[in-house]
Amino acid sequence: MMNNPQQGHFQHPAALVETQQIGAGTQIAAFAHLLPGAVIGADCEISGQVLIENAVRVGDRVRIQSGAQLRAGARVEDDVFIGPNALLLSDASGVARKPKLAAQLFTVIREGATIGANALLMPGVTIGRKAVVEVAAVVTHDVPPNAIVTGNPARIVGYVDLPHPKPPVAVLTQPFSEPYSDDEVQARKSTRVRGVWLHRMPVITDLRGNLSVGEFGKDLPFEPKRYFVVFDVSSREVRGEHAHRTLHQFLVCLKGECALVVDDGTTREEVVLDSPAVGVHVEPLVWGVQYKFSSDALLLVLASDKYDPHDYIRDYEDFERLVAA
């Protein structure tokens, strides 16, 4: 590569670099094409055959592999990896027609995200911090922080930094006597996530049918003031994606199964709910996501208070700042 001491970066003689806005330490390989309006941060690696159009903003330490295309207006934050032949679409023509909608028309990749080879990102999508778009995925909607998506259209199949999920039923479920004792109903197990507890719920078997029960003030860690039921969820859809400031929740999957991801800002864990014998107590300031719903899943959620929109924390970065304070 040829050193460009005036600008502090390196570019191959066969690269077509029309922009002057390139950070120190960035390396640009042969046959890459950077248009005049592109802005590139420091210590980036831009491989051959990469196209970066006007008004694209690339942060520091970004790696862009061969053949990737960043169309006009795309925003890429620090420490992002973009795989070979990935395509980031943006509707730059729409910005000229409707400048107030610019933020909705540009593709945004947040800090630390990974975009796999041959992935296609449609105009206006945002890829959350540390999210992973797998190879050849077609992303048509925003991807939450830390989520792993795949397929066409892309759907969430997991979250980063999660150990292999295991159903808690094998750990917690044991036969109950009838009437059951106080020691039995108090059985609970802490998770790796601060403020999340697994509870063993009474299940009474009978030839006439089985029964699961929970008594307020006895089996449950708080007295509910509200409940809601989640059902008929398409398996590719995700529920939750928020935390609460003061609200406690207690979740029981009455039928079918789903997965619950809980996150205290430091540790993240996935719990499989597939039996009414297990309840999960989620305390305030825990980020929660429900996904992987079976077609017959019926999820009961008990809440410690009435609905209050101001109690919700819906932005993960706001949540991280709050729990770190």
Catalogue the active-site residues: 242
Structure-block tokens of residue 104:
């909705």
Cis bond leading into 153, ω under 30°?
A: yes
d(CA 29, CA 11): 6
Q: Count helices and strands (H / E) in the chain.
A: 5, 35
d(CA 231, CA 296): 7
93 CA to centre of own chain:
30
Structure-block tokens of residue 155:
């759907």
User: Who contacts 62 (Cβ-Cβ below 8 Å, separation ≥6)?
Assistant: 41, 44, 45, 76, 78, 79, 80, 81, 82
Per the DSSP assignment, residues forming a β-bridge with 158 are: 148
- Of the candidates 148, 160, 130, 143, the one whose C-alpha atom is nearest the C-alpha of residue 268 is 160
